[in-house]
Structure formats: structure tokens, C-alpha cells
């Protein structure tokens, strides 16, 4: 059988693109090198709890289009992300808000908190922040930077904060209200029944072949379709010809515990440098689980090496420039489109990935009709 599209990767990008093309009556084959669909949002049931195998995923978006799209395939619960930071046993609320400032400085009002931050910013002498450290101190002052940002960020990215781009920290909101909601997004929740079930619905009616690595027999797979959408790592596609891009990988240590409640919250970040993991996820709290057991995952961030899963693109200057070389090569490749977090080497959230897949599908539809 010959297909209109071959989609490489059954993650959110591949699934949304395939779903949309099927809707426009194109024939699509999806191939996936793992033994399951869903990419990094994959969830599996353990002890009746949906476990996020590749890290905690909280869907949040400001886009009505993205929200309505996912609600076609799943019903979402009312989960609101409110992580806790643990710094040497002291607990602080995240994101940075009046509860954090109260605990840090024993202040009660926004004016008192803003004064302390302004004083610390002034004392640091930073006028225009040029890296993550300076950006963080400008936003929240030196105390919060030292206790809640520096250690976590350096563990997460394996690089000094002064060598990291400031946009990473701009994702973290700072508010002068008593509000522990991590996200400012209009819509937020977790799909009831797990992400895998949601992606299954997106892929319903589409042929999916698992355990297939496209790059191992590219010519064969290319011959099966008119056009290819590739959502794997862009540098791997080109045989790393310009050199490997840097990624951060994560090692998950998952345990079933014979107790109903381990940490009382879905996400606890360990922000000191000494604790080797970055955070502990207790999966049942994403869905208000009442099971007698619980499942936790410790996350250890590490530099990606061949054979590991590439999770986070490292969008520093060097790697952004290298990615540009790959992008130029990608533009010259006939009949192949690159999408998703790895294909575009971008720190994309789920909603952004979905919107970009839907946009690509729209363009393809216009181009081919």
C-alpha cells in the first residue's frame, strides 16, 4: 500500500498531524520506534494509578483552539499544578508568590516583598540581565535565586546559571498575590484515564506500526509515502553531520510504596545542590487518587549521550547556531517536513506542539488540495 503521508513518531506532534490529515481523507502511516504510542506524554497504569513514565505532564494553555482540540479526545480533571520547593528540608510555595515571600522573609504585604526584591536587585548592580542568573536576580532577588533557583537549575541543565539563556526562567511566574497556581494559563488539567488513552483516540482509524526505527531503513519507509513528517531528533536524521546537538536527558527512578500518601503533593522540587535528584513526582495526586498504595518517581537530570532518551533541547547560543545549520539542510530535503520538540529542537509545551502540528496540517491541506 502507498500512503499520502508517513509520520515518524507517535508523540503528540505526529498524532495530531496524522489525525488532521486523516480527517481530510489522506492516507497516513505512523511508525514509532518505541513499543508504545504517546511519545513523552505516555502514561501507564500501575496499582490503579496513571504513571507518567517520561516525567510529569500537566496540560495548560491559553489557546482556546488547543483546549477544544484536546477535549475532543479526553475529558480533563480540575488538577491545578502547585509544586512545593524543598530546600534542605525547608518548604516553600511555587511559583514565587506571597506565600513564598512570607516564608522567606516573614513579610505579609506585597509592598514589603517588592521592597526587599528591589533592594536586592539594586545591590546586585545588574542593569540589563544578560543570562539566567542575572535575569533571576532581577526578577526575585538574591535570596530566592540562591535557595530556590540556582541549585535546581544547575542540576537540571548541568551548566552554571551564568551560561544559560534567561528565557528558561521567564517561564516561571512571579506574583505579588497569594496564589500557588504554577501556571497563568486560562485552561489546565490532566486527561482523565491518562494521556495514552487520549492519544489512542487521536490515532483511531490510523495504521500505527510500533518498534520501527525509521532511520534504520529510511529508503524503504520513504518509498511507502509521498511525503514524510519526521518528529525525531533533527541531528540524528542527518547522521550528526554537523556535530551532535546537546540535549538533557532524565533518569527516572520509579517505586511503588506500600502507603497511601508519600509527600502530600504531586510535585516536590529539591532545589538544593546536594540532593542528587531534581524532583519527586507522586503520580496519584494528579488525579486525586485514593488507592492504598502510591507510586513515586525521582528525576535525575543528566547530559544526553547516545543510547539515552533526548528530553530537553539545550537552547544555548552554541546549540542554537548548530540547529540553524541543520534547519538549513532540512529546508533542502525534498518531501520531508520536520516537526515537534526534537524535529525543531525547541522547548515546546504540549499545547504549542499541538498547535504547530495543526498548523502544518492546515498548510499541507491547502498545498495539496
| 32 lies in the binding site for ligand FAD (CB under 6 A) | yes
| 82 lies in the binding site for ligand UDP (CB under 6 A) | no
* Of residues 58 and 113, the one with the C-beta less far from ligand FAD: 58
Name residues contacting ligand FAD, limited to 184-213 (CB under 6 A): 213
Distances (CA, A) of 287 to 35, 138, 266, 368: 25, 36, 9, 42
| 171 lies in the binding site for ligand UDP (CB under 6 A) | yes
Q: Are 289 and 190 in contact (CB under 8 A)?
A: no
Q: Which of 156, 231, 275, 297 binds ligand UDP (CB under 6 A)?
A: 156
Compute the half-sphere exposure of residue 344: CA atoms within 13 Å on the CB side of its CA.
Answer: 17
- Any catalytic annotation for residue 279? yes
Q: Supply 43's cell numbers.
A: 502514561
- Any catalytic annotation for residue 79? no
| 104 lies in the binding site for ligand FAD (CB under 6 A) | no
| Minimum separation from the CB atom of position 172 to ligand UDP (A) | 5
**Which candidate, 73, 71, 99, 95, places its Cα nearest to that of 83?**
95
| 225 lies in the binding site for ligand FAD (CB under 6 A) | no
| 280 lies in the binding site for ligand FAD (CB under 6 A) | no
Q: How far apart are CA 230 and CA 22, in angstroms?
A: 17
* Of residues 5 and 214, the one with the C-beta less far from ligand FAD: 214
Q: How far apart are CA 351 and CA 289, in angstroms?
A: 25
3-state secondary structure of 105: helix
**Which candidate, 244, 186, 172, 212, places its Cα nearest to that of 59?**
186
- Looking at 282, 299, 351, 364, which residue is catalytic? 299
**Which candidate, 319, 299, 323, places its Cα nearest to that of 309?**
299
- Looking at 175, 197, 298, 346, which residue is catalytic? 175
| Minimum separation from the CB atom of position 54 to ligand FAD (A) | 6
Q: Which of 342, 358, 360, 361 binds ligand FAD (CB under 6 A)?
A: 342
| 311 lies in the binding site for ligand FAD (CB under 6 A) | yes
| 86 lies in the binding site for ligand UDP (CB under 6 A) | no
Q: How far apart are CA 141 and CA 158, in angstroms?
A: 22
* Of residues 95 and 221, the one with the C-beta less far from ligand UDP: 95
- Any catalytic annotation for residue 347? yes
Cis, peptide link before residue 125, omega less than 30° from 0: no
- Any catalytic annotation for residue 209? no
Q: How far apart are CA 59 and CA 194, in angstroms?
A: 11
Which residues are annotated as catalytic?
171, 175, 248, 279, 299, 347, 349
Amino acid at each position: 500500500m502507498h500512503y499520502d503521508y508517513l509520520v515518524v513518531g507517535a508523540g503528540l506532534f505526529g498524532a495530531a498531524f496524522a489525525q488532521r490529515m486523516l480527517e481530510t481523507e489522506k492516507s497516513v502511516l505512523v511508525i514509532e520506534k518505541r513499543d508504545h504510542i504517546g511519545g513523552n506524554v505516555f502514561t501507564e497504569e500501575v496499582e490503579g494509578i496513571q504513571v507518567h513514565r517520561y516525567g510529569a505532564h500537566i496540560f495548560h494553555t491559553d489557546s482556546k483552539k488547543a483546549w477544544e482540540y484536546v477535549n475532543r479526545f479526553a475529558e480533563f480533571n480540575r488538577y491545578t499544578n502547585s509544586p512545593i520547593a524543598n530546600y534542605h528540608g525547608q518548604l516553600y510555595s511555587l511559583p514565587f508568590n506571597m506565600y513564598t515571600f512570607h516564608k522567606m522573609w516573614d513579610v505579609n504585604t506585597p509592598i514589603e516583598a517588592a521592597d526587599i526584591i528591589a533592594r536586592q536587585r539594586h545591590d546586585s548592580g545588574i542593569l540589563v540581565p544578560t543570562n539566567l542568573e542575572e535575569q533571576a536576580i532581577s526578577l526575585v532577588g538574591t535570596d530566592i535565586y540562591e535557595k530556590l533557583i540556582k541549585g535546581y537549575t544547575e542540576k537540571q541543565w548541568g551548566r552554571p546559571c551564568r551560561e544559560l539563556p534567561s528565557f528558561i526562567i521567564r517561564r516561571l511566574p512571579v506574583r505579588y498575590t497569594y496564589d500557588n497556581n504554577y501556571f497563568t494559563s486560562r485552561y489546565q488539567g490532566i486527561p482523565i484515564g491518562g494521556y495514552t488513552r487520549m492519544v489512542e483516540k487521536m490515532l483511531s482509524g490510523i495504521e500505527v506500526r510500533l518498534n520501527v526505527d525509521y532511520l534504520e531503513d529510511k529508503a524503504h519507509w520513504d518509498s511507502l509515502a509521498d511525503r514524510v513528517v519526521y518528529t525525531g531528533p533533527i541531528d540524528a536524521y542527518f547522521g550528526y553531520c554537523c556535530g551532535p546537538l546537546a540535549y538533557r536527558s532524565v533518569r527516572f527512578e520509579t517505586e511503588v510504596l506500600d502507603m497511601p500518601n508519600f509527600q502530600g503533593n504531586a510535585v516536590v522540587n529539591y532545589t538544593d545542590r546536594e540532593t542528587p535528584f531534581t524532583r519527586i513526582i507522586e503520580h496519584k495526586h494528579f488525579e486525586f487518587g485514593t488507592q492504598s498504595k502510591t507510586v513515586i518517581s525521582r528525576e535525575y537530570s543528566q547530559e544526553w549521550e547516545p543510547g539515552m532518551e533526548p528530553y530537553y533541547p539545550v537552547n544555548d547560543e552554541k546549540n542554537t547556531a548548530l540547529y540553524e545549520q541543520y534547519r538549513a539542510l532540512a529546508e533542502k530535503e525534498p518531501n520531508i517536513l520536520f516537526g515537534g520538540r526534537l524535529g525543531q529542537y525547541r522547548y515546546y509545551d504540549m499545547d504549542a506542539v499541538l498547535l504547530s502540528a495543526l498548523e502544518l496540517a492546515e498548510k499541507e491541506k491547502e498545498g495539496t488540495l
